[in-house]
Amino acid sequence: MTSEGYVTGTESAVAPSGAAAGDPPARGGAAAWAPVAALTLGIAALVASEFLPASVLPAMASDVGVSEGTAGLAVAATAVAGAVTAPTIAVVLPRTDRRTVLLGLLAAAVVSNAVVAVTPNFPLLLVGRLLLGVAIAGFWSFALGAGTHAAPGRDHVVSTSLALGVSAATIVGVPLSSVLGDAVGWRPVFWSAAGLSVLALVAVAATVPPVPAQQGAGLGMLRQALANRRLMAGTACIGLVAFGNFAAYPYIRLAIERVTEGSTVWLLLGWGIGGLAGNLAAGMLSRRLGISVVAGPALLAVSLLALATTHGIAAATVAIVVWGFGFNMMPVASQLWVTRAEPKRIEPALALQVTAFQVAITAGSAIGGAVVDGGGVRAALLVGVAAALAGSIGFGVLRTPRP
């Protein structure tokens, strides 16, 4: 989930993400942006797949014979695999061409969605979701570098494009999958996600040029990034904000149905539209990251609190749109934040950002599910409020790195 702004200060830092010093520049003009569009489609397919359980949760839970809180672990399962994959994939594949890796990850997403679509039980469903987690974390770790290799010096634009792919997935994918799931069942929704992943695989294969690994990629570079105290503190704040969101997001349909049963699709669409606006706002504020990383989590906290305490459809609508706006500022802002905090080791910095998100998704979904089963969805929303507010305060105290 990310979107970008318009910054020039990180241009010199981007070359190591894909192109080594002295490499010829990537193709210019429209040809340079075709790979970015393909990578954006890949992100959209993966994110749509990641959050499908939230839009079909009741039917899926009933079909595989588990509670709704337990079914929310279908989101957490992707994050478990992602939390392991993000910091290790560059270590395991230090020299492998990143285009080859991206294609393999999209193929894994196709298999994952097909497994979920045919699963007869919850354990096999979790296996499929674990495979998707590997695909998501790896793709996120390398997509920005591959995009900036094709369009050098435009990291903020590439990041924005990737974030817009996330927004498209939430604006179209989540509401559409909810409608499709209600009409024909939840399994065809996952077959559709498999088809979209195939389309992304073909697009990346056709347009993305070879992307050499960052020079020196491997365990040593990861260790150096881990020694950066500012980077690690910022990563912790990112984790808090993501935890706050994902303690509540897998259960957003339950939160909506607490207020109204007739406007679910429209409110899910409102979350996605708010997310699109948040992506764009974070991109425009790319020169003012200090504002984005504080304001985004603060808006998230306010919106979750409002949704937990309101019983009116109008207030709930505003809260859900603001929720989408506030949280979706963070993928763009945090991606730029970590690359500025560690400009010489971008691959591991981005891997740590992805890890923070994936760990937070795991913990948030699991704890949120337990809270939902024990105290209802309002309690899960309040857990999200506390974590998002803590992340906002943390970023407010932490000095934002300059470009």
DSSP letter string, 47-111: HHHHHHHHHSHHHHHHHHT--HHHHTHHHHHHHHHHHHHHHHHHHHSSSS-HHHHHHHHHHHHHH
Q: Rounded mean pLDDT of the chain?
A: 83
Higher pLDDT: 250 or 106? It is 106
The stretch 64-92 carries a mean pLDDT of 80
**287 or 186, which is more confident?**
186
pLDDT band at 23 (very low <50, low <70, confident <90, very high): very low
Range of the domain at 147: 11-18+27-397
| Assigned domain for 403 exists | no
Is position 371 within any domain? yes
The domain that contains 50 carries what CATH number?
1.20.1250.20
The DSSP code sequence of 247-259 is: TTGGGHHHHHHHH
Cα(13)–Cα(352) distance, integer angstroms: 17
Cβ-Cβ contacts under 8 Å for 163 (sequence gap 6 or more):
1, 2, 3, 4, 279, 282, 283, 328, 331, 332
Higher pLDDT, 242 or 272: 242
H or E stretch including 383?
A: helix 377-397
Q: Tell me how far apart the alpha carbons of residues 241 and 332 are, in angstroms, rounded to a whole number.
A: 13
Q: Give Dmax over CA atoms of the chain in angstroms.
A: 60
What is the sign of the dihedral through the CA atoms of 34, 39, 43 and 45?
A: positive
Residue 93 contacts residue 75 (beta carbons within 8 Å): no
Q: What is the dihedral of CA 288, 289, 295, 298, to 10 degrees?
A: -160
Determine the Cα angle at 36 with ends 101 and 138, to 5°: 30
Q: Is residue 402 part of a domain?
A: no
Over residues 381-399, the pLDDT tens digits come to: 999 999 999 999 999 998 7
Q: What is the C-alpha to C-alpha distance for residues 134 and 57, in angstroms, rounded to an integer?
A: 22
Average pLDDT over residues 83-110: 88
Residue 5 lies in a domain: no
Token representation of residue 22: 């002295």
Q: Reduced to 3 states, what is the DSSP secondary structure of residue 214?
A: coil
Distance from C-alpha of 10 to C-alpha of 246, rounded to nearest angstrom: 30
> Count of H helices and E strands in the chain?
19, 0
Distance CA 384, CA 367 (A): 10
Domain count, the chain: 1
The number of beta carbons lying within 10 Å of the beta carbon of residue 91 is 16
Tell me what pLDDT residue 218 has: 61
The residue with greater pLDDT, 349 or 214, is 349
CA distance 61 to 115: 16
Would you put residue 312 in left (φ > 0), alpha (ψ -120 to 50) or beta? beta
Asked if the structure places residue 148 within a domain, the reply is yes
- 181 assigned to some structural domain: yes
Within a domain: residue 112? yes
Average pLDDT over residues 296-302: 97
Residue 1 lies in a domain: no
Q: What is the mean pLDDT of residues 219-237?
A: 81
Q: Where are the beta strands (DSSP E) in 246-384?
A: none
Instruction: Provide the b/e sequence for 270-292 (b: ≥16 CB within 10 Å).
Output: bbbbbbbbbbbbbbebbbebbbb
Q: What is the pTM of this model?
A: 0.72
- The yes-or-no verdict on residue 214 having pLDDT over 50 is yes
